[in-house]
Structure formats: structure tokens, C-alpha cells
Amino acid sequence: MKITVLVDNIGTGELVGEWGLSFYIEYQGKSFLLDAGGSGTFAENARKLGLNLENVDYAVLSHAHYDHADGMADFFERNRTAKLYLQESCQEDCWRVKEDRSMKYIGIRAGMLEEYRCRLRRVHGDMDICEGVRLVAHHTPHLEEAGAREQMFRKEGGAWVTDCFSHEQSLVFEVGDGIVILNSCSHGGADNIIREVAEEYPGKRIRAMIGGFHLHNKEDGYIRELARRIRKTGVEEICTGHCTGENGYRVLREELGDRVRQLRAGLELEYQEPGQEELKHQGPEWEEPETRCEKKI
């Protein structure tokens, strides 16, 4: 299994960074696209990396925010066959409260879901995409509390409703005796997500949790407590970036040490079957990002 980061806040060399995430994943002869950032940047980076988006077999949207969804129009123009798997509740209806108490739209570009409706595959809860690959929805109760903390809302029938992140899902791959979890923003809590997925794979090693943890707006104490809960899950590696933020990454490293790695555009992660080389990190070095986008939602 090989994962290539197409877009992250951190760009390297000729690869442009933006506030968003996009992953190109190769697994058992199939290609997957998880998210497409907020523009066509992911596609241009894919071209520079020699990755052909026309060959993608499955596309997945992790949740209904613009910085993961709005590049999908560029993907649909380049790939004419792959379906986009998204949760049934994923709509163009996500907002957050700004510092001046006004509401800011942070959802999917208006009209995009209708424009590409024939390319969508709506998922209700959990679903196996193909052998060894599963979508896992949130099962943790009361996630509207996380929505209230983030001051994120959805508009339903003209009324504001606290976001419970029912539109968020994880993409999970079985690799030998373990699993690799990708969840691009982890609004439902990285520890909750690991636990939700682990319950569906009893006895499996949790080899990696990959994605953003939405810590850019959190105090150190909150991050340290989250790190302690993550440690208890038994996850072997964390690869994080995007909405985790620089300080969030720093504190996670302090608490969890070398098991925490930094995402960035162009990074390659390889997970092998048992008995082979366990894990390879390739692409740009960890310590010297060249460009960083700090736009936040």
C-alpha cells in the first residue's frame, strides 16, 4: 500500500501547498483519491509527481467542507468514470461562527453536488468499497458537543443546527495483520475515530492514523489530554498535518514522540505486508518545509 500526499498546508519544492488535504492511494492494483483540497492545486501537484488522475478507480470525500471538496470538480473533469463516495448526509450546508459572531459558509461550493450528481455514490453509515477497503462513519454519541466547541453549524429548513459531523467518514485499509486509517480533519475526535474503527476490526493492529486533527485552535492542555487518549488506543503511528497546525503538531510530538510524523505535499508512505520492510517514508524530508499555508476555517 502506498499513500502520496497531493495537497497539505505545507508545500515542498515545486509542489504547492494550500489549506486543505488530498491523498492518492495505491492498494492491491486499485487507485483511490481521498479528498481534493480546495482548488485544482492537487491535480497540478499530481501531474508534477507523475500520477495520472484518469486512472483513479474510487474517489472519497471525507466530509462536507470546501477545503476538501471544492477541488473535486477538477477531478471530475479529468476522470470520467470514478464514483465519489460520500455520506448520505453530506450536503452544501456547513457554516461556522466567526470572531465577530457573523456566520461564514465553509461548505461544498454551491451547486457542485447537483452538477455532478450522476458521479455521486451516497453511503449510509459503514460500507465496504472493495475487498480490504471500508468506509466507517461516526458511531460515537453526542458529537454535537464537538460541533458546539468548534462553533460549527448546519442549516436545516432555515434553522441552525449544531454540527454532529454525520457527514464525516474514515477510509480504512487492511494491510496484513493491521489497518491504516485516514480521516482528513477528525472533527469527531482522533481518539474517537481510532476507537470506532478498531471496534470493527477486533484483534487487528492499528498501524497508522493519517490526517488532520483540527488542533490549530486548541490550547496546549487540550492537545496533551487528546494525546494521552490517543496513546491508550494503541495506534502505532500518527501522520498528521493540515488543521492540526504547527503548535498542535509540536505538542503531539512532545507527548507521543517519534510515532508522530508531519504530512506535506509530496510525502510518500508505504505500508507492507508482515515479513516485509514494515514502513517506508519517502519524498520530502520532515524537517524543512519550504512553504506553508496558514489559512484557517
Rounded CA gap, 264 and 135, in Å?
24
The reported pLDDT for the residue numbered 282 is: 54
Residues 201-253 have pLDDT tens digits of 999 999 999 999 999 999 999 999 999 999 999 999 999 999 999 999 999 99
Q: How many CB atoms lie within 10 A of CB 259?
A: 17
User: For the chain, what is the mean pLDDT?
Assistant: 94
The 3-state DSSP class for residue 142 equals coil
Segments in the chain below pLDDT 50: 283-289
The reported pLDDT for the residue numbered 272 is: 87
The reported pLDDT for the residue numbered 280 is: 54
Packing angle of the helix pair 245-256, 220-233 (nearest 10 deg): 50
With beta carbons less than 8 A apart as the criterion, state whether 274 and 176 touch.
yes
Cβ density class 183-203: b for 16+ within 10 Å, e for less: bbbbbbbbbbbbbbbbeebee
The reported pLDDT for the residue numbered 157 is: 86
The reported pLDDT for the residue numbered 291 is: 67
The reported pLDDT for the residue numbered 254 is: 98
This prediction's pTM: 0.94
Task: Please give the distance of CA 173 from its chain centroid, rounded to a whole number.
Answer: 14
The reported pLDDT for the residue numbered 284 is: 46
One DSSP character per residue, 25-83 reads EEETTEEEEE--TTSTHHHHHHHHTT--GGG--EEE--SSBHHHHTTHHHHHHH-SSPE
The reported pLDDT for the residue numbered 287 is: 45
